[in-house]
Amino acid sequence: MTMSPNSQPAPRSAAPPAEALRVINFDLARGQRFGEHEHSTHQLVWSPASVLTVDIGDHSWVLPPTLALWIPAGVPHTTGATRQAQMRSVYLLPDRCPVRWTQPTVVGVPPLLRELITHLGDPDVGAQPRARAEAVLFDLVRPVAVTTIELPMPVDARARKVAEALLARPSDHRALEEWGREVGASARTLARLFSAETGMSFGRWRTRARLRAGLEHMAANRPLAAVAHHVGYTTPSSFIAAFRQETGRTPGAYFTAR
């Protein structure tokens, strides 16, 4: 099998004519990322037991095991994990795939879809059983009614320095005035930059950064109280309230999204 420069398989030649899709497993070390790349096939990015992050342009998705991301062919993206993880990617030939989405789309992963992906990853599955399983998989690839925690990054160097510091330490409570003294910009300038370049206020951006970090810790089965404190909330209830406001679900419901 040929490999792409980032050590992922080149899906163009990965699936023989008898197959509409191919499932490939990748073991990712803590902090490992596949640099920006694209595929000639569609890709469904999913982890059966860990949390993955996918960045496309200015947008970032955090995917627990109950969610996957559909990436259309030709869309540049980066994929990684903040902790050790296994990525189970489904590569789908566009001319054999009935799903026609042209934008990245979050997909729910109920138990049946989970088992089908695992089943189709078995190289010993025969042609006819594989064709039947593929047809069911296509039928189960459905968008999920849950808002993921997208986190566009500012472009301006001063605002980006603040954003990167908050990603590294989401519990940092410093106000814009304090950040401004550190990066050489007024609080008003930073507020304007966050609004113009991320589409949200600084306060909302920081909230999303905290929730994204919290999601990654919850996926590692840390107690909710510890997670809330780690990302800057004084109580679990305040973390839950913020999470519900941004995603429409409680943290527990987010991980069991259907």
Per-domain residue ranges of the chain: 11-140, 157-255
Cα 85-145-131 angle, rounded to 5 deg: 65
Query: Does residue 131 sit in helix, strand or coil?
Result: helix
Closest CA to 35 of 86, 83, 76: 76
Within the chain, where are the H helices? 111-120, 127-140, 157-168, 176-183, 187-198, 202-219, 224-230, 236-247, 251-255
Ordered per-residue pLDDT tens for the chain, 258 residues:
333 445 565 554 444 446 899 999 999 998 899 999 999 999 999 999 888 889 888 677 888 888 899 999 999 999 998 778 889 999 999 999 999 999 999 998 999 999 999 999 999 999 999 999 999 999 999 998 666 677 888 999 999 999 999 999 999 999 999 999 999 999 999 999 999 999 999 999 999 999 988 987 887 778 999 999 999 999 999 999 999 998 888 888 877 655
Mention the CATH class of domain 11-140: mainly beta
**Is residue 47 within 8 Å of 85, Cβ to Cβ?**
yes
**Maximum Cα–Cα distance for the chain, whole Å?**
66
Q: At what angle do helices 187-198 and 157-168 cross, to 10 degrees?
A: 80
Q: Which CATH number fits domain 157-255: 1.10.10.10, 3.30.40.230, 3.40.50.300, 1.10.10.60?
A: 1.10.10.60
